[in-house]
Structures are given as structure tokens and as C-alpha cells.
Structure 1
Amino acid sequence: MTQEYKHILVPVDGSKEAELAFKKSVAVAKRNGADTELQLLHVIDTRAFQNISSFDSSMVEQVTETAKKTLDEYIAFAKEQGVENVSYTIEYGAPKTLIAKEVPAKMHADLIMIGATGLNAVERFVIGSVTEYVTRMAVCDVLVVRTDLDNQPVKN
């Protein structure tokens, strides 16, 4: 029996790894049929703004507008590739729990496709890897994308 995923969540953050995960998710959605839902997720980590003394809401609005432009481009790409059931959500808060638990539960995700971390070993030790957390704590299956569209290792 072949596993068919119908609700695929793809966290994107503007990184090369996330874009690769997105492109592979488009291929998976196409293989799984027209009723497969592809949900893109961008999390704006509001904790990053807490230490800025001159914080105002216009900073968050700018980040949100930039994210919307990128997500709109991703939606257009997916539709060009034949995936019609594609949308996005922008959430605010801690990326780890939103990606691993809250959003997948809300959308009934059966697969999270996430890019491998771009952090080095020291950064992972200090701040922790979102990808590593998601693989341990997710409420559904997780596919960590480490290769390009030809299944070749990504060159950094």
C-alpha cells in the first residue's frame, strides 16, 4: 500500500533549504492527486523584536509584507506546476511549537516537509534547531529535505 498525504505543511523562511523543501513538496502534492492540500507556513518570530528599544508595529508590518510577496510567488509557482489546492498562513510567535504542534493540529496535517537546518553546530547548541525540534515533537510525519530536485546533496 502506498502512503498518500492529503494535507502537507511546508514551513518557509526565505532560506535556500526552505525553498528546496517547498519545491519538493510541490512534486509530492502533484503525485498525491488533485485533492492534496499544500499549506505554506511562514512564522514571524516576534521574540526577535523584543530586544529592540525603538520597537514599533511598522517593523512587523514590513517583515509581514516581505513574507507575503515571497509566499505569493510560491503560490504562483505551485499553480504553474499544476497544484491548485495551495495556500499560505503567516503566524506570529515561537516557530518551533507553531510548526511542530499548533499549525499541524489546526490544519490536520499528515506530513510536514521542512528544509534541513542551515545552522552550524555551535548555533544549534546555543539556540537549537527548529528542524531538529520539529522532527522530535511533531504531531504527524516529518520529511526533512536534504537534497536538491535531482536527489543530489545540496552544495553550501
Structure 2
Amino acid sequence: MKFEYKNIVVAVDGSEASEIAFNKALDIVKRNDAHLIIAHVIDFRSFAYAEAYDGSLSDQAEAYAKDLVDSCVESAKEVGISQISRCIEYGSPKVKIAKDIAQTFKADLIICGATGMNAVERFLIGSVSESITRHANCDVLVVR
């Protein structure tokens, strides 16, 4: 019996780790003839206080997210993937990816990059990839 993934979420944030994860996702999506969901979560907590001084930060974050996801969509199309969805959300990536986005798209695999945090940061705040692994109801591939 052959198992195939049908709905694959890849989390992208523009980092080198997420780019590596995205490229791995392209291979897996092609091999499984799956639906690719490209997800980016705008973490509003990172600029919530600064927004009071500069009201354009959320607009800039949205523009960046749109450009990033559009670029990923184009890359996926270039390698022959046709079943592609875009997903841009606001909130905590730790919660949104594993719970909301994965459930909305009925994901059977989430792919994300490993973080570059050091041991102290991981201990104090935890990594996004660790949280996804802990809370997801489907398989998770953390790409190094």
C-alpha cells in the first residue's frame, strides 16, 4: 500500500531556513501530486507597540507577505505544480500554522524550517517549529 500526502502546508517567512523548507516542499508536492498551501503568518505582536508611532508598519508587513507568497507561487508554477493555495494570516505563527491553517486546508503534512535560535531563546520562548510539531494533528517535517 502506498501512502501519499494530498494537502501540504509549507510555512514561509523569508528566512534561509524557510527557503530550504520550501524547496523540499516542492519536491514532496511533485512526488505526491499534492495540493500545495503556501502559508505566511504576520506576527502582529512584533510590531503592535511600534504601530502606535508608525501606522504604516502593518501595511508594510502585508506587502512583504504578499510579495513573499507570490514569489513562492511563481517558483512552484515554474517546476510544474498547479494545485496551489495562498494563505496569509495575522496572529501567532505557533498557533495559526498548526491549528488554524492546517485544519482549514485539511493538511496531512506541514513543512517548516528549523529555527536559528540558540538554546537559551528556545528555553525561554520556544521555537515556532517546536510548537508546530507539538500541536499539529498531522505529520510535520522540520527541515534543517
Indicate the TM-score class for this superposition, using the shorter chain for normalisation: over 0.9
TM-score under structure 1 normalisation? 0.87
Partner of 1:152: none
Cα RMSD (Å): 1.1
Are 1:81 and 2:100 an aligned pair?
Answer: no
1:113–1:144 CA contact under 8 A, matched in 2: yes
Q: Give, in angstroms, the shift of residue 51 of structure 1.
A: 2.4
Superposition pairs for residues 1-156 of structure 1, below 5 Å? 1-33=1-33, 36-52=34-50, 53-56=52-55, 58-146=56-144
In 2, the alpha carbon distance for the partners of 1:49 and 1:27 equals: 34
Deviation at 1:117, TM superposition (A): 1.3
Contact residue 49 and residue 55 of structure 1 kept, 8 A: no
1:124 aligned counterpart, secondary structure: helix
Q: For 1:78-99, what per-residue CA distance to the aligned partner results, in whole angstroms no more than 9, with x for missing partners? A: 1110111112111001111101
- Long gaps (5+) in structure 1: 147-156
Q: CA deviation at 1:55?
A: 4.5
Counterpart Cα distance in 2 of 1:73 and 1:48: 23
TM normalised by structure 2 equals 0.94
Q: Which amino acid aligns with 1:26?
A: L
Partner of 1:153: none
Q: Deviations over 1:110-144 (max 9, x none)?
A: 00011111111111122210100111110111011
Question: What is the identity percentage for the equivalent residue pairs of Structure 1 and Structure 2?
Answer: 50
How many angstroms does 1:47 deviate by?
A: 1.1
